[in-house]
Structure formats: C-alpha cells, structure tokens
Amino acid sequence: TQLLEQSPQFLSIQEGENLTVYCNSSSVFSSLQWYRQEPGEGPVLLVTVVTGGEVKKLKRLTFQFGDARKDSSLHITAAQPGDTGLYLCAGGNSNYQLIWGAGTKLIIKP
C-alpha cells in the first residue's frame, strides 16, 4: 500500500517567519501535487512537479520534488495570515491514481 506521510501535522507560527512542510513516502511517484484547503472550501491546486529534483517557485512558496521522486517539500518565506490553511500533497502512481497525504494544518498568527 502506497502511503504519503506529511509532517508536521500541525504548525502555528508568527507572521513573517519561514517554514517548511514535508511529504514523504517509501514509494516512487511519477508526479507530486500540492493543494491548499481553506476552512469550508475544497482543496485548490498550487503546483504539480513531475521531474526528480525539480524546484518550482510560486511567489513566496517554493516546492521541491526529491531526486528519487519519493518525497517533496514546501517552503514558505515570510509567512502571512493569508497562508493559513490545510496543505495537502498528492502523489500520482503507476495506476494513474492520486495518493493523498493527511495534510499539514498551518496557522499564521498576525
């Protein structure tokens, strides 16, 4: 059974701080997606990475796919209250399915 473990499960920091959340597996994935879900809403896609070692930047967010395509990280620089939400990673497997992590709940305090 393929699993994606996200850490930490919960993170509460002050506005302006930097943070990194992780998405790890013992399995290889062909792609890795990151979504953000705000309370009362469905998840919204932030990025898709498909190449081992790939780095993508979205304003203050930096996403990295591990060289072996088993893990990924999301780094946020100078976090803002608007970054608050549940961050979910989802890995694409060889059966064309998405395997989801349980999420990191992030709270940015003003």
Enumerate binding residues for other proteins (CB under 8 A).
29-31, 33, 35, 40-45, 48, 50, 88, 90, 92-93, 95-98, 100-103
Instruction: Supply 19's token pair.
Output: 């943070």
Minimum Å gap between C-beta 77 and other proteins is 25
Looking at the Cβ atoms of 75 and 105, the one nearer to other proteins is: 105
Minimum Å gap between C-beta 19 and other proteins is 20
| Alpha-carbon gap, residue 7 to 4, rounded angstroms | 10
Looking at the Cβ atoms of 55 and 78, the one nearer to other proteins is: 55
Residues 57-79 as b or e (16 or more Cβ within 10 Å = b)? eeeebbbbbbeebbbbbbbbeeb
Looking at the Cβ atoms of 8 and 16, the one nearer to other proteins is: 8
